[in-house]
Structure 1
Amino acid sequence: MAWLFLALAALCQTVWTFSLKFADFKALASFQFSLPVVGPVLLNVVSGLVNVFFLNQAFRYVPITTAFGIWTALTLIFIKLADVVVYKAPWSAGELFFIGLLAVAIVGLKWVGSGNA
């Protein structure tokens, strides 16, 4: 279950990151409160809080250093996937290689952490 919490936390962190892209802080600073202005900020706050909740749940079952490393790696993978799939950002073979290394590291940390090594 802890690994699901880590994946959900990483997904929320990805939403949090992309919500910053759409937040219009100049409009907020000038007190323009419309849904297109407030929506991304509310999404940012909610996804940030849910991220912290799931990360805290994972910390109860997985060592903090392992959980934090996996959460960071998953977040990077999810952000790159969203960039490529949703925003049609370019990617290179080098990026794919290093994302693969992150995936191997995540599996390795789970394997070592579960006492199978």
Structure 2
Amino acid sequence: MAWFWLVLAGLLEVTWAIGLKFTHGFTRLWPSVFTVAGFAASMLLLAHAVRTLPIGTAYAVWVGIGAGGAALVGMVALGEPVTAGRLFFVGLLLVAVVGLKLTSGH
């Protein structure tokens, strides 16, 4: 169950990271509220997951899901450049996340 909470925390990290773009430096109320709520929920779920999972593995997976997911959403939905290099390195993040899961012993 800890892995479920960790993946959910990572997906929420994607939402708050993307939400930062829409807060305009926290000058817009509702995007700011949703971004802060997403951040808080992501951290709470991460904290719940690390009660069972090793902190190094959990944190790296959380960051990997967030960074890779934010990069992909940026490319797909926000018009950021899609290049072979960017896709390659997002793929490396995915490989690293799966590798950490497979070698964590949990």
TM-score range, shorter chain: 0.7 to 0.9
Quote the Cα distance in structure 2 between the aligned partners of 1:102 and 1:17.
Answer: 17
Pair 1:69-2:60 in alignment: yes
- Give the match for residue 11 of structure 2: 11
CA apart distance, 1:24: 4.1
**1:38-78 alpha-carbon deviations (Å, 9 max, x no partner):** 10111022111101111011101210000001111110111
Runs of 5+ consecutive residues of structure 1 not aligned to the other structure: 29-36
Between the two proteins, the alignment pairs up a number of residues equal to 106
- Give the match for residue 21 of structure 1: 21
Q: State the TM-score, normalizing by the size of structure 1.
A: 0.80
Q: Percent identity of the aligned residues?
A: 36
Pair 1:47-2:47 in alignment: no
Pair 1:89-2:80 in alignment: yes
- Give the match for residue 58 of structure 1: 49
- Give the match for residue 33 of structure 1: none
Cα separation, partners in 2 of 1:24 and 1:112, compared to 1, 3 Å: closer
Runs of 5+ consecutive residues of structure 2 not aligned to the other structure: none
Q: State the TM-score, normalizing by the size of structure 2.
A: 0.88
